[in-house]
Amino acid sequence: MLNYKWTDRQKKHTLIFLHGMLGSHWHFTGMADHVPFQSHFNVLLVDLRNHGASFHSEDNTIASHANDILNIIKHENIQHPHLIGHSFGAKVSLQLSLQEPKLIQSLAMLDMSPYPLPDHVTKWVFSMVNGLNAINLNADLSTIEAEALKLAGGNKEYLEFLLSNLIKDPSGHYKWKVNMQAIANSSENFQNHVFPNNKFGGPFVEIAGAKSLFVNQTDFSGFSNYLSHVDPKTDIHFLDCGHAVHFEKLNETQALLQHFYEKQGLL
């Protein structure tokens, strides 16, 4: 079973937050602390397999991740949860919504398209993972940080995110908390995963970064392949930021999600 954390169990409806690649459940704590969410929903924060405090496995496929979440839903007897996924977590959320369309109540995807990314974007993502995997963790911390900073393109905020995965083992040696090798080996599945031949008919919203490379800002035709009801004018939003919309534009992302749930009569 995955590592996960409840903030409440007394409400009728449940939000499940799924983080992105190299993330963990704590990356959604700021989002989950939004007062309307806490007042009206049970909130479940999850560490995906190979991330955070969850188990490691060589199987890092999107389908396996979705089944992990389904196992939690069944184990905790969650009725018709609402999914919020960022990046890789959005792909997992979409997989589960298509796999179990009568179970999932609504789907919110944060800066991830439902169709395959351009090859150069996937190559960039996994060049980062492979670069981290190649760092000599027997070196001193300053050397490790310098190598990671190069991979982060000199962005110190992104460096902080990457190094949130660096820990010391009981003997005092550095290691990656995530299963970096399994993630690195999953690039083909990440790019070429085939979603279930189905359409999700529940409420949907996409919140993307206008400066990000993960969602095409002019061609939305791919969304209708997986979603029964999607209107680009009302269901797909672009914020003036990069990939991490829930960090860079936290208040705006919360406001859009709040409106999304208000339209469903949940707030």
The average pLDDT across 10-16 equals 95
Tell me: do 126 and 103 sit in the same domain: no
Inform me whether the pLDDT recorded for 41 exceeds 90.
yes
Of 184, 213, 233, the last residue of a domain is 184
pLDDT number for residue 248 = 95
The average pLDDT across 40-64 equals 97
User: Are the C-beta atoms of 212 and 111 separated by less than 8 Å?
Assistant: yes
- The verdict on residue 189 lying in a domain is no
Listing DSSP states for the chain in one string gives ---EEES-S-SSEEEEEE--TT--GGGGHHHHT-HHHHHHEEEEEEPPTTSTTSPP-S---HHHHHHHHHHHHHHTT--SPEEEEETHHHHHHHHHHHHSTTT--EEEEES--SSPPPHHHHHHHHHHHHHHHHS-TTS-HHHHHHHHHHHTTT-HHHHHHHHTTEEE-TTS-EEESS-HHHHHTTHHHHHH----S--B-S-EEEEEETT-SSS-SS--GGGGGTBSS--HHHHEEEESS-S-HHHHTHHHHHHHHHHHHHHTT--
- The verdict on residue 228 lying in a domain is yes
pLDDT number for residue 8 = 81
CA–CA dist 256, 250 (Å, integer):
10
pLDDT digits (tens, 9 = 90+) for 227-249: 999 999 999 999 999 999 999 99
Tell me: do 90 and 17 sit in the same domain: yes
Tell me: do 113 and 216 sit in the same domain: yes
Number of structural domains (the chain) is 2
The average pLDDT across 75-94 equals 97
Of 184, 205, 226, the last residue of a domain is 184
Range of the domain at 75: 4-117+194-263
pTM value surpassing 0.85? yes
The average pLDDT across 216-237 equals 93
Task: Assign 267 a pLDDT band (cuts: 50, 70, 90).
Answer: confident
pLDDT number for residue 125 = 93
pLDDT digits (tens, 9 = 90+) for 137-165: 999 999 999 999 999 999 998 999 999 99
Of 131, 150, 184, the last residue of a domain is 184
pLDDT number for residue 55 = 98
Q: What percent of the chain has pLDDT over 90?
A: 91
Q: What percent of the chain has pLDDT over 70?
A: 100
The average pLDDT across 194-214 equals 96
